[in-house]
Amino acid sequence: MSDLDQAAAAIADGKLVIYPTETVYGLAADALDADAVERVFDVKGRDRSKPVSLAVPSVDAALDYTEPSERELAFMREFLPGPVTVLVARREMVPDVLTAGRERVGVRVPDHDRALELAERAGPITSTSANVSGEPSALEIEEIGASVRDTVAVVLDGGRTAGTESTVVDVSAGEIVREGAKAEAIRAWLAEH
């Protein structure tokens, strides 16, 4: 069994997995399993009022879990896959714990083969950095603290990641919530559309 198969099986069992993205290392759980998402918050020591995004293998796959407007969908098709998180209306199956009770969820389509393959095999997965909240994001496996690494079932090593955080965008409000990669291009698109 390949490491990706092992990781997908672990996620299906409600366990956590560390995986590489084009930005930083992420912590994956089944994004639709409230108990698994709770474990992500526990491992990170993350405040429950701060939502976690979900990662999917394609924009079309995101439509199974979200209901973007036409403008949001146009934005997603322009910038995904890539280091961008788009806030869109969630469907009912997306648990409250993931969105901190909000009606919108952050969607990521990572521009990284292993991350995309994992999302393809495991369904929507959590997209949050593999670190304790407040600590620096990890660019290499060795930078992930033992308190996180020791709680996961599988670690997918993808070498060194680029390190730039994703830009979080609320297209409906026409604003960048967190500036990161591609911020200038996003700002230009929002102004033009």
SS3 108: strand
E-strand stretches of 21-165:
26-28, 53-55, 84-89, 104-108, 125-127, 154-155
In Å, what is the CA distance from 134 to each residue of 99, 109, 138? Answer: 19, 24, 12
Per-residue model confidence as pLDDT tens digits over 93-145: 999 999 999 999 999 999 999 999 999 999 999 999 999 999 999 999 999 99
Question: Domain boundaries in the chain?
Answer: 3-192
CA 38 to chain CA centroid, Å, is: 15
Mean pLDDT, the chain, whole residue set: 97
Are 31 and 126 in contact, with CB atoms under 8 Å apart?
yes
User: How confident is the model over 43-88, as pLDDT tens digits?
Assistant: 999 999 999 999 999 999 999 999 999 999 999 999 999 999 999 9
CATH classification of 3-192 is 3.90.870.10, yes or no? yes
Written as six digits, the tokens of 46 are 């993350």
Q: How far apart are CA 112 and CA 93, in angstroms?
A: 26
CB-CB neighbours of 102 under 10 Å: 14
